[in-house]
Structure 1
């Protein structure tokens, strides 16, 4: 198709150089004629013309990445700037969680959002349902090298809502198990290769944690995890999903929690802190990370994003998938993804530039993987370079088994549901409230949220 239009492209380039055609019109004509966005932008960059030299297109990109993630994202943005000077990316980093998503919703509802933004997959469906996101065109994606076969089916499908693709996954970030290699070796939990032996079932897990606690010495623990934060939800939902429990009906309108399974899970969790006491009963996120980093715990349960912290601290550690405690393997997690918020006046040139940016970021995601996240883009995940990245590649196999938070406006990463779960479950972990009472209170709280109208 492009070769058939070469004469037209040549004429349009001449028109741009003479000032008879704008650069935006050139991009619209070229993409409509069948040229890929990358070809069109490359040709446009060579057009010269009466306008000052500089980027042919400019897009705005919003994200919520701070800390190590933020540093790696900036590195990837710089890589794109060097490789594609024809596109200027104005990157904006906003506060993680509800502040970010509130601003994104307001910008999209006002019709003046960024051309491309990061969204957790767990937040995407709510925004798509409100018409705040633009669906992707598969043919447009194919022209910049983004096709379904380059993603795991389970990962690609999570980007869909009502049969349309609204989110392109950048990664999967699962809940994982960090383990101190010195402590676990002393406890007899490592194999001849120095890797953690398989641990499956409640009894095997509890025995492993008790052995690790003994090996950690006085004042040490078998496992440490955040009790004063959203980690309680991540543990609960991982284990409840391993029992094949559901929280909401398929349409998301009815609470269908299995009380017996939920109480079974919360009882096991409370046993860790208030009965067997292999884990501290009240500790915040920073305290949990510091305790493991200082060598006072055999295990640490958290998201995989703290890998750089322990590497920097020279903690003797490795990582493994979160253990299978019950019938079916599942683990809580989420996916960072690229979305295109709804524009009041869509610009084909900006859309083409945004798609090229997304394509590049996927291809450059080995940089992203170094921070712990599992790349969604299979050409990176399947590469020898990634397989040799340790310990980050040790848990890549869990990507198809990640369960994301139930779909609703109050659910998802950094959401009201995650926060309220911690408030309700923490007293159970401390032994002040029984698991049955905790589940009853949790159900009443979630039902109240279900009865509340979407706030935007």
Structure 2
């Protein structure tokens, strides 16, 4: 999957996934209350699941659903996949507003408040979840806190996905930047990192590192949070100008000094890394299967420590219960049971690069044996989710506005100072725009 990353992988086609044709029309039927009863006369509980997983993630989800169905013949699981990003979230909001369109949906945790926790999204019954062994003690603490709004649990975190460092072992070995275990040498501070990138560039003859310059928000937020920067999105934008300028100046410098391409888009970045024009890459951990399938010898580690910590921007996929006009206890019980099963079996999901949110899996020997996933497993504890606002989060307008102005810092068409002014102006307009929910 590309998240959220970011732009998603191209859809693999509907194949075994139930891709809803005529999406808005179908959603309209659901809004009108035309959905059949939960058991539909079959003696099985119907469970309608909506998700946004295409590409490699979609294939993994299909495989997990096939296992779930085989183990739960009493449940009639009906998954529906929509395109990642706004196409999905538009349908999600319409479906949840209708009150009868789906029983459980997938959500980026960063979008929880903006998509109506307490209005379009119902609380998760903690007692029911605990019956399946899923409690606050078994889920990554930072994600559980984010899933809790005003004391109520509104989401069941499934994973963590974040920006990490990929390194080409062959190139990095020639550059002499691997340690005795064949892992990338850790750096501390911008100067050490730039020195390492210069060594790698001497081997590739082109660049040391590649990153998605059209998605510069991810790098900016990682760096800004390493500095301890906060961003408040209520009233006048609250941002630390000095820390923001330090972060933007890093983006300017890494490209201006020829250590990274001044322009590299979302699909081109992994291609550039695979083609060997750079020995390192900053990208989401969801790109992992691409390089495994290509047979590359590569490793992964957290986002580099540029300003004092190895913090990287990221998000979490989570399961949520849409608001129901008429409570259906049987459907809710089936939905919570499904989510619990997915968490407990998330070692299969980890194969795509995501770090399981369920601690018994994330801390298991089986996960520790996964390579190169184990190289960044600890980074999930400190994933830096986007600031809270209705327009923030994965595929949100804040990201789009930030990307449009920050890309120019990489290619030299704007200065860090001008980019910051433009970003703050865009944020003010978003704050002044009434929330749609």
- Tell me which residue corresponds to 1:19: none
The answer as to 2:248 corresponding to 1:266 is yes
Matched ranges for 1:22-421 at <5 A = 56-129=44-117, 131-217=119-205, 220-228=206-214, 230=215, 232-248=216-232, 252-273=234-255, 275-421=256-402
Contact kept, 8 Å, 2:164 with 2:283, in 1: the verdict is yes
The answer as to 2:437 corresponding to 1:437 is no
Q: How big is the shift at 1:199? A: 1.1
Q: How big is the shift at 1:152? A: 2.4
| Alpha-carbon separation, structure 1, partners of 2:203 and 2:225 | 31
TM-score by length of 1: 0.85
Contact kept, 8 Å, 2:156 with 2:320, in 1: the verdict is yes
The superposition leaves residues 276-319 of structure 1 with CA deviations (integer Å, 9 ceiling, x where unpaired) of: 11111112111111110112211111100011000111122110
| Alpha-carbon separation, structure 2, partners of 1:375 and 1:130 | 26
| Alpha-carbon separation, structure 2, partners of 1:117 and 1:362 | 14
Q: 1:149 to 1:129 in 2, by over 3 A?
A: closer
Contact kept, 8 Å, 2:303 with 2:310, in 1: the verdict is no
- Higher helix fraction: Structure 1 or Structure 2? 1
The superposition leaves residues 304-357 of structure 1 with CA deviations (integer Å, 9 ceiling, x where unpaired) of: 001100011112211011111113442211000000010111211111111111
Q: 1:430 to 1:180 in 2, by over 3 A?
A: same
Q: How big is the shift at 1:253? A: 4.1
Report the RMSD for the aligned CA atoms in angstroms. Answer: 1.5
Moved over 3 A (4+): none
Alignment length (residue pairs)? 399
Local SS of the residue matching 2:161: strand
| Alpha-carbon separation, structure 2, partners of 1:282 and 1:300 | 14
Give 1 or 2 for the bigger CA radius of gyration.
1
Contact kept, 8 Å, 1:108 with 1:341, in 2: the verdict is yes
- Tell me which residue corresponds to 1:18: none
Contact kept, 8 Å, 1:155 with 1:399, in 2: the verdict is no
* Higher mean displacement: 254-263 or 115-124: 254-263
Contact kept, 8 Å, 1:125 with 1:407, in 2: the verdict is yes
Residue ranges of structure 2 left out of the alignment (5+ in a row): 1-38
Residue ranges of structure 1 left out of the alignment (5+ in a row): 1-44, 46-50
- Tell me which residue corresponds to 2:10: none
Q: How big is the shift at 1:416? A: 1.0
